[in-house]
């Protein structure tokens, strides 16, 4: 299979992306977002879940949680490029919501066969969910949570936006294998310990499981997890690309308006070229994100390679765009009142989650250099 | 059938089949002479004749100039050059030698020349019988191109040209030159005009071409002196004083951001040209002994090789994404990055290849032990030609900042 010229990004996908951009511009302008989530600058503030909760109901109403759910389970079954387009806009808006985590959960469930249909149906109707399985290193191997006597034990770390979710999708080790469980966040034996994090647009927790009874989803969980990983990496990369685009546009506008030495800042090449390099980095990541997203539907044999490329590139872009957005604003960019810090923090969080750039490049080296040798 | 083919219109599908068949029957095979990395380094008449014969055959089969009207020697087709290019590149044919003619002179003459001039010049340009060169840069006018001083003075109904052009690629083979010069000294931009002028037929009669030697030891570019060269007013493109606007058409196409698709064959993927991709560097690393293993075991080199592979993949994707308006924020954003990204990518890949080779990278073309025949150090040095020619990387960043991001102009 090979990819269509337009990435399979058809009319409906373009309409979705466009309407999402307008939705966020109207309902969640950055000044309102800032007033809501950045009211307390105290670096030692205790963790709280603050987010525009009313918007979530509207997003569910718009069908966004059903986008990636197969039609057989009551969903809309849009291609992954369309979902990437939506998440690019969510990133541009620095949206605090369980949208990303829910779509990532959908990716795993969509690979889990018939047994996952009820869970997918719940998501299509607006149930928010998040993945729980990581060890304390944030690595992507399963094993921090185990199944013993049919019950879940252990601790899942770096569970994203759990304070906004109803359900956990738990990946657990069972003997030598992997098992998948669908568990209410408030089930007996679950304790959610909120992490105090830098990023104001998310919440995060480590979740302990003490003999928790969950709903088992009977499937080849290891296979489902492996097949879902490229989706997970691609979707968070789309978010980073959108956020980086906001950083570029905002910093560019500032460089047009602010004058020093009787000239707009953007006149000076030391700044002009940094902004151009930011744009170039964003475009590299963006092309890779849409290629990876397209591959998920059209070129599955390359999906993993392209998703590694997308996450490696987007992570570097996120870091670079963030640094430049603060530096090019000067003193004001270093303050709490300037909005760039919201994106700076969100990007650093995304950059390091789900494998940083070096981790993805190391996997690519194995694929391209070592396996390339065997192929040659 | 690939997805790409599935998108072909009936005309394109038929044309693609024709191209494929013709290439299969007429692939010129490996040349007897060694060919340089690109047409810009062609040195010997043997190299040039081999490549000219190939371009002429491809033109006569309808694979060159496909989208230009028949009246100017084109194929009169719609959006078909792209198809021919895809087939030519996929078949790893040699490249076309008339690179400046096809990429810059043709679209400029087509958009700004008289009907008579177009009908006279373009057929022999497409066939490669007339090689073209570009006379823009001067000793005092490089990045600041609009400061050119070569001057055309009106004498009766003729123009008399005096001046000094430099870095003129292919001038030693060229029949024609596109020439940016000054017809009025009192206005920097509005004093510029644009001509096409004969070179080969005027040698010793007002035109002198002197080769300049590149840092690689190759020739390929020249300086061109004009001393009272007399030309007809009919060789002028567009109006007097509109030279800068005409030059913009040339530069846009030179940087791969123009609207007319340049006929292209072979290039990077050609068998006879040196392969400078990240995959080639990985292969090189696997074959380079180091510390009891190979260079492919070195974690830092691995990381750098993968970085190059990622940039390459993204650049390929840019071609595709640029055609999907819903996924591009500004229509010129990707096209205007093309030249900058390509040239910096190949520079960094070549530089990495030298690091992979270690001290063996010191071995040059005449050394039997040189890995890859000594092509990598050559490619590395030549890469600076690409980051300088056609507007330096710094100038490309200025253009992107000003034209795409809308930042204040630095001129
Ligand atoms: C291989 C090769 C082939 C060529 N072929 C042709 C040809 O066929 N025809 C032709 O007309 N020309 C040709 N050129 C010339 C080429 O277009 C010029 O070399 C180029 O435009 C730079 O001009 P310059 O050499 O005068 O350098 P300069 O303009 O003097 O630049 C020197 C340095 O200063 C930097 N610089 C200059 N201005 C600025 C600015 N405003 N902002 C930031 N940095 C700046 C440049 O980026 C560069 O690093 C060729 C050059 C090469 C290397």
Question: Is B340 close to A275, i.e. CB distance below 8 A?
Answer: no
Nearest to B318 among A272, A275, A287 (CB): A287
Mean pLDDT of B128-152: 98
pLDDT band at B259 (very low <50, low <70, confident <90, very high): confident
Q: Which domains occur in chain A, in start order?
A: 223-375 (1.20.140.10)
Q: A144: Cβ–Cβ under 8 A, 6 or more apart, which residues?
A: A133, A134, A135, A136, A154, A155, A156, A157
Whether the per-residue pLDDT at B270 is higher than 70: the answer is no
State the residue for tokens 């002009």. A272
Compute chain A's Rg from CA coordinates: 21
Residues A367 and A373: their CA atoms lie apart, in Å, by 9
Candidates A350, A354, A367, A358; CA nearest to A304 is A367
* Tally of helices (H runs) and strands (E runs) in chain A: 12, 10
Question: Chain A, 218-277: which have a CB under 8 Å from a chain B CB?
Answer: 245, 252, 255-256, 263-264, 266-267, 269, 271-273, 275-277
Chain-wide mean pLDDT for chain B? 93
pLDDT band at B2 (very low <50, low <70, confident <90, very high): low
ipTM: 0.96
Q: Does the beta carbon of B270 lie inside 6 Å of ligand 1?
A: no
What does each C-alpha distance from A267 to A286, B142, B399 come to in angstroms? Answer: 27, 21, 12
Which tens digits make up the pLDDT trace of B273-327?
Answer: 467 899 999 999 999 999 999 999 999 999 999 999 999 999 999 989 999 999 9
Q: Identify the pLDDT of residue B272.
A: 45
Least Cα separation, residue A77 to chain B (angstroms): 20
Predicted TM-score of the model (pTM):
0.94
Mean pLDDT of B75-89: 94
Beta pairing, strands A145-148 & A129-132? unpaired
Q: What is the DSSP string of A220-232?
A: -HHHHHHHHHHHH
Residues paired with A174 in a beta bridge: A177
Q: Which residue of A238, A266, A283, A357 to mutate against B (max B Cβ within 10 Å)? A: A283
Residues paired with A131 in a beta bridge: A169
Q: What is the DSSP string of A351-368?
A: HHTTS-HHHHHHHHHIII
Token couple for A308: 């590694």
Q: Which of helix, strand or coil describes residue B270?
A: coil
- The DSSP secondary-structure symbol of A146 reads E
Residues B165 and B21: their CA atoms lie apart, in Å, by 43
Which tens digits make up the pLDDT trace of B30-68?
Answer: 778 888 878 988 989 999 999 999 999 999 999 999 999
Judged by phi (left if over 0) then psi (alpha if -120 to 50, else beta), residue A5 lies in alpha
Q: Which residue of A has its CA nearest to B6?
A: A4
Residues A233 and B12: their CA atoms lie apart, in Å, by 37
Question: Chain B, 92-121: which have a CB under 8 Å from a chain A CB?
Answer: none
A101 Cα–ligand 1 center, Å = 50
Residues B406 and B1: their CA atoms lie apart, in Å, by 43
Least Cα separation, residue A76 to chain B (angstroms): 21
Q: Identify the pLDDT of residue B4.
A: 61
Residues B170 and B222: their CA atoms lie apart, in Å, by 8
Q: What is the DSSP string of B292-306?
A: TEEGGG-HHHHHHHH
pLDDT band at B3 (very low <50, low <70, confident <90, very high): low
Residues of B designated catalytic: 254
Q: Which domains occur in chain B, in start order?
A: 3-97+121-129 (1.10.540.10), 133-248 (2.40.110.10), 278-404 (1.20.140.10)
């Amino acid at each position: 299979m090979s990819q269509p010229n337009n990435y399979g990004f058809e009319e409906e996908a373009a309409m979705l992306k466009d309407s999402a951009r307008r939705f966020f511009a109207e309902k969640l302008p950055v000044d309102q977002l800032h007033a809501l989530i950045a009211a307390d600058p105290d670096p030692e503030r205790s963790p709280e879940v603050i987010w525009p909760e009313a918007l979530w109901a509207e997003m569910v109403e718009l069908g966004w949680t059903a986008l990636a759910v197969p039609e057989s389970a009551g969903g809309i079954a849009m291609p992954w490029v369309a979902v990437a387009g939506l998440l690019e806009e969510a990133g541009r808006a620095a949206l605090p919501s369980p949208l990303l985590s829910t779509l990532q959960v959908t990716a795993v469930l969509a690979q889990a066969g018939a047994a996952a249909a009820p869970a997918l149906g719940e998501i299509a109707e607006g149930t928010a969910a998040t993945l729980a399985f990581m060890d304390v290193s944030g690595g992507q191997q399963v094993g921090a949570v185990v199944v013993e006597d049919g019950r879940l034990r252990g601790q899942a770390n770096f569970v994203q936006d759990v304070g906004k979710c109803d359900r956990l999708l738990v990946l657990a080790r069972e003997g030598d294998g992997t098992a998948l469980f669908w568990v209410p966040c408030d089930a007996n034996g679950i304790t959610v310990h909120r992490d105090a994090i830098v990023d104001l647009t998310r919440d995060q927790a480590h979740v302990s499981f003490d003999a928790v009874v969950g709903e088992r989803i009977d499937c080849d969980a290891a296979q489902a997890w492996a097949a879902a990983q490229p989706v997970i990496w691609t979707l968070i990369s789309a978010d980073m690309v959108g956020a980086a685009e906001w950083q570029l546009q905002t910093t560019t506008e500032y460089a047009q308006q602010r004058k020093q030495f009787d000239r707009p800042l953007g006149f000076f090449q030391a700044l002009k070229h940094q902004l151009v390099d930011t744009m170039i980095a964003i475009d590299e990541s963006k092309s890779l994100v849409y290629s990876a997203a397209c591959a998920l539907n059209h070129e599955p044999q390359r999906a993993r390679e392209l998703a590694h490329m997308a996450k490696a590139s987007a992570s570097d872009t996120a870091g670079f765009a963030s640094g430049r957005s603060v530096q090019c604003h000067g003193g004001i960019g270093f303050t709490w009142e300037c909005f760039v810090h919201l994106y700076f923090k969100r990007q650093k969080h995304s950059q390091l989650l789900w494998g940083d750039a070096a981790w993805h490049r190391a996997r690519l080296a194995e694929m391209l250099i070592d396996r390339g040798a065997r192929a040659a | 059938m690939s997805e790409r083919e599935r998108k072909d219109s009936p005309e394109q599908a038929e044309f693609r089949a024709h191209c494929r068949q013709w290439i299969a029957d007429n692939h010129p095979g490996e040349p007897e002479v060694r060919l340089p990395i690109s047409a810009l380094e062609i040195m010997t008449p043997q190299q040039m004749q081999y490549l000219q014969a190939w371009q002429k055959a491809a033109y006569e089969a309808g694979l060159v100039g496909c989208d230009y009207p028949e009246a100017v020697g084109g194929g009169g087709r719609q959006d078909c050059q792209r198809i021919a290019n895809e087939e030519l590149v996929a078949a790893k044919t040699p490249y076309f030698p008339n690179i400046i003619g096809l990429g810059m002179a043709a679209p400029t003459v087509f958009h700004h020349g008289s009907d008579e001039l177009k009908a006279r010049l373009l057929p022999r340009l497409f066939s490669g019988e007339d090689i073209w060169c570009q006379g823009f840069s001067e000793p005092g006018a490089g990045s600041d191109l609009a400061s050119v001083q070569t001057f055309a003075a009106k004498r009766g109904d003729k123009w008399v040209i005096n001046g000094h052009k430099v870095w003129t690629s292919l001038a030693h083979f060229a029949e024609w030159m596109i020439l940016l010069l000054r017809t009025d000294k009192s206005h920097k931009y509005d004093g510029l005009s644009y001509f096409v002028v004969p070179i080969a037929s005027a040698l010793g009669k007002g035109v002198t071409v002197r080769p300049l030697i590149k840092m690689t030891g190759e020739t390929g570019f020249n300086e061109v002196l004009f001393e009272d060269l007399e030309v007809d007013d009919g060789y002028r493109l567009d109006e007097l004083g509109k030279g800068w606007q005409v030059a913009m058409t040339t530069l846009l196409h030179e940087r791969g951001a123009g609207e007319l698709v340049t006929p292209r064959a072979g290039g990077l993927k050609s068998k006879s040209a040196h392969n400078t991709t990240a995959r080639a560097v990985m292969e090189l690393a696997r074959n380079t002994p180091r510390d009891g293993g190979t260079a492919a075991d070195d974690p830092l080199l691995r990381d750098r090789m993968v970085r190059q592979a990622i940039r390459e993949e993204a650049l390929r994707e840019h071609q595709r994404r640029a055609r999907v308006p819903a996924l591009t924020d500004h229509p010129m954003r990707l096209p205007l990055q093309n030249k900058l990204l390509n040239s910096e990518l190949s520079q960094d890949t070549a530089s990495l290849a030298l690091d992979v080779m270690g001290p063996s990278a010191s071995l040059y073309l005449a050394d039997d032990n040189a890995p890859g025949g000594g092509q990598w150090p050559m490619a590395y040095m030549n890469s600076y030609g690409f980051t300088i020619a056609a507007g330096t990387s710094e100038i490309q960043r200025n253009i992107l900042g000003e034209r795409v991001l809308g930042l204040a102009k630095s001129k």
